[in-house]
């Protein structure tokens, strides 16, 4: 029998952790909710285009990679009609904060055969 892995995304709940989030995380969460959520969702899971390769999942993406990509979209170095416009709406601080938010999402994987959870923190 093949192993089945179930990914579960743990996010900060809006009410219980808001006070505990750093200013960077609070701003990142706000920007994600107002700018990124339509396509990438609050948790980095693509919500549009049938959750296809057209809109990538960015859950727990490495922060510096995300910063570099967003800056490249903003500068027009990477050509993409929607992402170029979206990235231009973000300040340098916003780019850092959005990347911080998505990079801090924790993923836990449950292996039913072993009946255990493993947490992966980026």
* C-alpha to C-alpha distance for 50 and 122, rounded to whole angstroms: 26
Per-domain boundaries in the chain: 6-11+25-117
pTM over 0.75? The answer is no
65 Cβ partners below 8 Å, 6+ apart? none
Q: Among residues 118, 102, 114, 117, which one has the least CA distance to residue 31? A: 102
pLDDT in tens, 3-40: 433 333 444 444 445 558 899 999 999 999 999 998 89
* C-alpha to C-alpha distance for 64 and 79, rounded to whole angstroms: 20
Query: Position of tokens 């743990």?
Result: 10
* C-alpha to C-alpha distance for 4 and 120, rounded to whole angstroms: 17
Residues in the chain: 122
* Ramachandran angles phi, psi of 8, nearest 5°: -125, 130
pLDDT in tens, 35-86: 999 889 899 988 665 455 678 889 889 999 999 999 999 999 999 999 999 9
* C-alpha to C-alpha distance for 91 and 43, rounded to whole angstroms: 21
Query: What CATH number does the domain located at 6-11+25-117 have?
Result: 1.10.760.10
């Amino acid at each position: 029998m093949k192993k089945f892995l179930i990914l579960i995304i743990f996010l900060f709940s809006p009410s219980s952790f808001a006070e505990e989030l750093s200013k960077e995380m609070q701003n990142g969460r706000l920007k994600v909710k107002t700018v990124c959520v339509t396509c990438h969702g609050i948790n980095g899971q693509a919500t549009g285009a049938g959750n296809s390769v057209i809109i990538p999942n960015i859950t727990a993406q490495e922060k510096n990679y995300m910063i570099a990509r967003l800056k490249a979209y903003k500068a027009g170095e990477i050509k993409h009609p929607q992402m170029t416009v979206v990235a231009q709406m973000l300040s340098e601080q916003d780019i850092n904060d959005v990347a911080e938010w998505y990079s801090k999402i924790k993923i836990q994987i449950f292996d039913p055969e072993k009946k255990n959870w493993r947490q992966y923190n980026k």
